[in-house]
Amino acid sequence: MFIESPRYTERFGSVRMSHAQRVISLDSGAKRRPHSHGAIGVKRIDEETIRHFEDRMAIVIPIKDEKLRLLEGVVSGVPHDCLVIVVSNSQRERVDRFRMEGDVLDQLCRFTLRQALIIHQKDPAIARAATEANYVDLLDEDGLVRDGKGEAMIIGLIAAKVAGKEYVGFIDADNYFPGSVLEYVRNYAAGFSLAQSPYSMVRILWRYKPKISAGLYFKKWGRISEITNRYLNSLISTKTGFETEVVTTGNAGEHAMSMQLAEILPFASAYAVESQELISLFENFGGILPTKESKVIEQGIDILQIETRNPHLHEERGNQHLNEILLSSMSTIYHSPLCDKEVRQAILAELINQGILKDGELPAPVHINSPLSKVKVDKFVNVIRKHSDKYHVLH
């Protein structure tokens, strides 16, 4: 693949965040030719390098009651050497959708002779593992794992750890284009190959997110992402004293990280997860608040943002759902100790203006699950390993 070289990298303490890099061409040929590294300002990432990272990567697909055809399409787009881990919170009663998801996965894996795992978020064995690991944050009042996409990501991460994977990528199950999924994973691999630190993250910026309104319109920004990015950038600008537009992936559902970074990162509940990841990195390693992780500070953290070639098309769930995502994302910024009075006032005004909060109301803080490094993750890993036959698609 050919990708723009990181043009400009901004630094906040130990965090290095690159401005979005465009994918220029999806393929760069198999043969090494003279000068095949690409023109000035362009990087060629060869297939061997992409394969190297794919082989070490698990792709976690969180799913809750999606169309089976979409799940099948998403899995079919994941490169063969990645381990697929589906974490489901779909209904089991009346119609057992979880079972149907397992059947779809099983069929695809049989046809293509690949392995995959599928785990239900509400499996009591997972809750028992969380209890043994003293990971009570993850549990709800019924003693089962809480609802939410963020929580599904944590279970996926632990399963990836059990499988010995070094990188984990997340891809929503409601993507319409398998070809986009293939590109996301290749972009993850390309990003990791460019990172300098073992603590690295790759976030996908969609080239277009088409809307259907009197024809197909290739819209660049979603309503939510535009607003979240603006306030994440404001938060950084007020701390550095220099206005920035570096953050363009505040809500990137499609993103990936090295296991080393994943283990030290707190994960917010549900849809707050992606923006909280950035906030936590700025809080813990941005050089403003104190931190104890000297090893991480030494190596730094690389955040790469990669703009795709493919457009992104996913299920549209209406305004109330979008408001829920926006409110939780803004809450992560609002409640950060890095957020000053001016940005807080602006966030409140924005949420009131959007009709999400009423005058005088404040965004409720989001639930944040501790990083894996703060719980007895080995105990969690052991319990999952014990049950691993149950989670493997091809026994």
Query: Site residues (CB under 6 A) for ligand GDD?
Result: 62-64, 66, 87-89, 121, 147-149, 152, 172-174, 222, 224-225, 251, 253, 271, 274, 314-315, 317, 321, 325
3-class DSSP assignment, residue 284: helix
CB 93 to ligand GDD: min, Å:
16
CB 316 to ligand GDD: min, Å:
8
CB 14 to ligand GDD: min, Å:
25
Nearer to ligand GDD, 54 or 101 (CB): 101
CB 63 to ligand GDD: min, Å:
5
Nearer to ligand GDD, 149 or 161 (CB): 149
3-class DSSP assignment, residue 343: helix
Q: Which residue is nearest to ligand GDD (CB)?
A: 253
First to last CA, the chain: 36
Q: CB-based burial of residue 304 (10 Å sphere; 0-12 exposed, 13-18 middle, 19+ buried)?
A: buried
192-220 in b/e form (b: 16+ CB < 10 A) is bbbbebbbbbbbbbbbbbeeeeeeeeeee
Nearer to ligand GDD, 37 or 99 (CB): 99
**Spatial contact of 310 and 177, defined as CB atoms under 8 Å apart:** yes
CB 90 to ligand GDD: min, Å:
8
d(CA 226, CA 201): 20
Nearer to ligand GDD, 4 or 123 (CB): 123
Nearer to ligand GDD, 208 or 299 (CB): 208
**Spatial contact of 92 and 120, defined as CB atoms under 8 Å apart:** yes
C-alpha closest to that of 270 among 64, 57, 66:
64
CB 324 to ligand GDD: min, Å:
9
CB 236 to ligand GDD: min, Å:
19
CB 283 to ligand GDD: min, Å:
19
Q: CB-based burial of residue 101 (10 Å sphere; 0-12 exposed, 13-18 middle, 19+ buried)?
A: buried
Nearer to ligand GDD, 189 or 326 (CB): 326
Residue with tokens 């409140």: 348
Compute, in degrees rounded to 10, the torsion defined by CA atoms 174, 52, 306, 24: -110
d(CA 181, CA 257): 16
d(CA 117, CA 156): 9
Nearer to ligand GDD, 56 or 149 (CB): 149
CB 366 to ligand GDD: min, Å:
12
Nearer to ligand GDD, 66 or 302 (CB): 66
Nearer to ligand GDD, 56 or 312 (CB): 312
d(CA 119, CA 161): 14
